[in-house]
Structure 1
Amino acid sequence: MLINQLLNTKGRQVFTVTPDDTLSAVAALLYTRKVGAFVVTDRVDRVIGIISERDIIRAIAQSGPESLTQPVNKFMTKDVVSAHLGETVETLLSRMTDRRIRHLPVMEGVRLVGIISIGDLVKARIAASEHEAETLKAYITAG
């Protein structure tokens, strides 16, 4: 399955924050939106980072609770690994596992068009495996 197909099913809504937002504000938004990460964009909507629950925990562990008043750009992941519409679920599962990341912005050129989580990919892979098993069962019973 291609990521474009996955986004057509899942949806293409992406929540973004600015590099000047505080970690506290972002933590509240993560909770409210029930997501695990936000893409950080600049004034012209270019992707410049990603901030996740894991990044916020790391900031608090390293700098204490006062880090919550600091801007996102101090703690965000700046080297953003992304996905492209024509890539496969299997390719991205491997990339995310190798790099130990849970969220990938999906890009079309330089334009942000979606976000996927490792959970989205696992769910798609399980659905594909179940479909394949059902197809094989039907083929065997049809003789």
Structure 2
Amino acid sequence: MFVAEILKTKGNAVYSITADVTVARACQALDAKRVGALVVQNGDAVVGVFSERDVVKAVAADGPNALARPVQDYMTAKVIFTQPRESLSVVMSRMTDRRIRHLPVLDGETLVGVVSIGDLVKRQIEEHAREAESLKTYIAAG
């Protein structure tokens, strides 16, 4: 199974902000969109990811004053990407090894979606359930 199959199911909506948006506005966007991370872009270029973890990091470092500062001060600037044709097992390993919860998906130079560890786990569970059902049917058929 590949990343592209997850995007077909969940869609390829990408919620993004610019690096100058305040942490407070980014928090409002995270809440309104009901997502755990926003892609930070400069035009079409991905320059970072701002996640719930970055909010915690910001408040821990600067207290309530962090809310008025730009996300560029706290975002994850070294972005790790995935591609539509990568297998879920490879992507899950990358995310687990690097303790990443959200990966932007690039097709060439084009941002085509974002996948979360939750998306991958959900798909794995669905796949295992299908396999178990197939085995039950096979065994019952004798």
CA distance in 1, matches of 2:56, 2:96: 20
Task: Name the structure 2 match of 1:62.
Answer: 61
State the AA in 1 paired with 2:7: L
The Cα shift of 1:91 comes to 1.1
The answer as to 2:34 corresponding to 1:34 is: yes
Q: Secondary structure of the equivalent of 1:83?
A: coil
Gaps of at least 5 residues in structure 2 are: none
Q: What CA distance in whole angstroms lies between the structure 2 residues aligned with 1:137 and 1:84?
A: 34
Flag structure 1 segments of 5+ consecutive residues without an equivalent: none
Give the 3-state SS of the residue equivalent to 2:105 in structure 1: strand
Paired residue total: 142
Structure 1 residue 104 corresponds to structure 2 residue 103: yes
Considering only aligned residues, what root-mean-square deviation do their CA atoms show, in Å?
0.7
TM-score, scaled relative to structure 2: 0.98
Once the two structures are TM-superposed, the CA of residue 4 in structure 1 deviates from its matched residue by 0.5
Deviation string for 1:16-57 (max 9, x for gaps)? 000010000000111111100000000x21111000011011
Aligned to 1:79: 78
Deviations 1:101-141 (A, max 9, x none): 10000010111000011000000000000000111111111
Please identify runs of 4+ aligned residues in structure 1 that moved more than 2 A. none
Superposition map of 1:1-143 within 5 A: 1-42=1-42, 44-143=43-142
Counterparts of 2:109 and 2:22, CA distance in 1: 26
Query: Offset of 1:64 from its aligned partner?
Result: 1.5
Q: Secondary structure at the match of 2:100?
A: coil
